[in-house]
Structure 1
Amino acid sequence: MPHAPVLGDLATPVTVIDAETGVGEIEALIRADPECLGLVAVADGTTYVLDRPYLETVLAGRLGYGRALLFRRPARAILRGPALVMPAATAWDDAARAVLNRPSGTKSLPVVVSFDDGRLGIAAVGPLVEHLSRSYETLAQQDILTGLGNRRRLTEVAGAMLARDDRPVALLLVDLDRFKEINDELGHSRGDELLRQVAAVLSGSFEEAVFRFGGDEFVVLLDDLADDSDEYLEKLGRRLLHDIQGPFTVAGVPITVEASVGVARTRPGRRDLGELLAGADTAMYAAKRHRTTVELWRPELAAETTTDLRLQAELRAAIDQGELVLHYQPLVDAVTGQVTSLEALVRWNHPRHGLLAPAAFLAEAERSEVITALTDRILTDAVRQAARWHRDGWCVPVAVNLPAPVLAQDRIVGVIAGLLAEYDLPASSLKVEITESAVMTRPERSADRLRAIRELGVRIAMDDFGTGYTSLALLTQLPLDELKLDRSFVHRIHDPRERAIVEAVAAMARGLRLTLVAEGVEDQQTADILRETGFDVLQGYHFGRPAPSFETVRRAA
């Protein structure tokens, strides 16, 4: 098996000169070898690189007299800042990040490579940066937690499958049941471990046709079906459930996985990924409602709207009757530990079921128009509370999440502006958080609305970054102030390889001048590593769970 590329593989031998070597002699050395990238000079124990383009510019001079003026002078006269020197065993990823972290104007300079036997070499930076770029492209199509393809990869693979009309395609959407309970009981890191184990089993059973759709949902896409009858597809779904039921041992606890599967297949003249996903989604929710575990999409299910109508009606009443309440979770400065802002998180004080977490109703709300009224209520309550704190002398910014359907509406800019004016809250005391998926459907229009919100003075944060939807290029187009790294990265930062990815994201955020926030920090060791990595702000249970406003104030005081 070939070894991972290291810097020594890229290095070529280099001539090392003393700082007193004459410029005329240096010119002779580079003229003698047209392939020479440059020379290395050593002065007072410090290593310098004299790359070929720089030497040729110096010898030419501004008026063409550089050679004549410098011919008898020593190399010391033309030395610039110290070179970047790295061991030959440095991995290309690490070398590329070190190159990009150099000050502007020096990023293109060759790297000096030191070998164990004392020899020096020189390496061009182009291959290193290209390698890192390819790595990012791979990450953009790969779910970082499980290694499966993400939604973007699903779109590409499905496009190729559906372009062929010679065979049917089936899509199975798998949703784990009671996964939130596992997270709450064992912690998010243990929940992540379960997802990895389930993904490994699915991948072993279906190979490259498995994708992580997000959260605890997986997609299996098949076009080599032995049969596309209802009986065969249902049998396939039940086999899948048998494969992933476990038990899996997580933190010493054997966990048996229960799940629901929705199945959809192509029909004559209807070969569209969106239709397959919508059909499988409808079938999967029918399987949950009917407790049948596996359902195939069929016309009768179209009558059962994906959103529970009773839940919609109850939510509308809850909004009008003040049953929605906000809890606030602190975000702290990674160095000082001081609270820098609060994130407003909605809860439903249900008259029969008690206090419900967002997972119990937000997903359904986002499938209907009720999400607009719900978000208006959250924004109003958050701005009112922030204004109250502001008047009391505690000028802490409050963040509110904007769901994708709300960001898609032009009205949201006016709603925010109106609330700031009504409650006399400085715009700098409000932040809005968006998810990667919220901007991917219409990135240009989303960017326009976000710019309009930012022009009010409101800060913009991208939440759950790294879940696989956003291209790196898109980040430069959005008017962002903060980048919140998804908790799935944070929980694995103790693994050296995973930490390298987090460090790369941190370097990228610094390059874009974004405040870098880590979500899901559950212990001090993780907090220390994140601080050392360059994170500005930390959020998680280690610093405080979401709490009502009066508890938040008392605890933060």
Structure 2
Amino acid sequence: MAVASWRAAISVLAPPDAVTTSLAVAAAACLPVFGVGGRVAAAVRFRWHGLDELTGLPGRRYFVETAARWLGGGHRVRGSASAALILIDLDRLRDINGTLGHEHGDLMLTTVSDRLRSVLRPADLLARVDGDGFAALLRGVDLAGAEAVARRIREVLRTPVRLDDLRVQADVSVGIAHAPEHGRGVLELMRRAEEAMYTAKGTHSGQRVYDSDCQLGNRAQLGLRADLWEALDDGQIELRYQPKANMRSGLISGVEALVRWRHPTDGLRLPDMFLPEMERAGLMGRLTQRVLDLALADCARWHAAGAALAVSVNVPASVIVDCGFVDLARDSLKRHGLPASALIVEVTEDGIITMLEQAQRTLSGLRDHGVQVSLDDYGTGFCSLAYLRELPADEVKLDQRFLQDIDRDSSAAEIVRSTVSLAHALRLRIVAEGVETSRSWASLAAWQCDEVQGYFLSRPLVAERVLSWLREWGDRLRWLPPAGESAPTGPIRVTTAPRGAGSHSAATAANARPSFPTVGAASSGPVATALMTTSASPSIAESSSPPNGSVPVAGPVSLASAQAGPAGRVSKAPTTPSGSGLASGVAEPPAAARSSLAVPSDRPGLWPMGFRMSQRVDVGSRRPSGQLARDGQRLTG
């Protein structure tokens, strides 16, 4: 009765929080009287005093409140407090809990907390702020002193701990933040120290002082995942296509599909800006399906226009190990009315070697259906030779990093040459990525490389631009030397002339008459050794509009009948069933037409490439090469 009366009176005179607190304190004080103690009393102390039951250290809330008072809340008027915040994280506590049991994980935590106390001063603030994390605040310590304390902590923890008859070392990662240069408030210092700690964990360096390179993310990345879902749902994914040329004939054999994201506010985003987050969000399956559908739809339109190109699609490891991908590829080809040879699936080594059996089944199923398999970025992984031996494939793509120095580094050149020989010995087709100069083209041709791609051919193109670009590439083939002749050397100086100038001389026109061997046709040597063009030309820029007044032509155009209009535009010639005029593997001019090709005065293929040939070509005593110089500036492929 007395207790009920007291409860009624206090509820009127005091607020509810005060009543709850007073009751909890009274209960905690009376627990030993009634014989209840131990864990219940410890839980009450942890709730209201912020103490960790296992280690006896303060908890996160107590640490934050106390550190805020020590640092003055980050708003000191007469200068800022000098202090260091050290964050210590156990690296393998989850492994210990899973292997030996949580009781041994608890023993590791108590041992670590005792050793931390032995290193720190009595005046320092130590707390357990996470399941496997500790934090220490050191007042009046400069940055060098804080680093020394971190080294002593790691040194004292190197002594193994005896757990279930095993000697287990307490590996830790330590992050350090110092006030006031890294932050003035405790929450800011904890965030900086955590970023430094994760950087140390990722680099296996043991400890790290915070700097700008330690940032884990930014505000834009936090909202990226929601934007990616919308990109897939709203059709914001686009493709660009980079052509691949056959080195023996110079004809275009196919294109590689490159993914882009058309963000509604930020514009076009490159894959490096969103593919890692796509992988983390588990969206690579949906993205691959979208890219495959877009690429095959464009490929079907090119086939209908007479350009039987193959399209290469990059498939990540997380998708290629899915047994359902074979059916997805088969159904997509059937839906778009394409043969299996129109699709090349490119896979990278990363992640596949660890799931080798699943990858082998999928790749074998694709090849059984007639889809070609390409091993992308060869030479950049850890098991490249095993990669070639274990995975069923049709071609190997040499990473572009190997081609950067072949013009000036004999070792790099020998690596590329030997890799080409290795691929041929294994009966694999080899494709060189990142070809940007005529000299690289000539070297690869001399080494019998099968195909190349890169800015020397073209920058990535929108789908609507591919057909018209094929005709421009056909015009570039006019300037290839005849089969079996050595690669031309020396620069060409091209001078511009007004429109409507007289036609080329008979000698110039005769030199411009090309021959177009089919892909795979036997030849006495590489044909495409040097081309007269520039990779920086606006015709091959990544844009959706035709450059320099040229217009895309819906159907195939015969190179023999293509004429230049008043503004240098190509007028569409009568469509032929053979699809002649498109410089692709199966769309070459008939034999009868090849011998009668003429070069008109206004060359339609050269106008879109950013320069125009005149009647005057000064070659001196040397033959033309694939290097152009205009107005004193050298334009290389």
TM-score band, normalised by shorter chain = 0.3 to 0.5
Instruction: Please state which structure has a larger fraction of its residues in helix.
Output: 1
Q: Which has the higher strand share?
A: 1
TM-score by length of 2: 0.42
TM-score of the pair, normalised by structure 1:
0.48
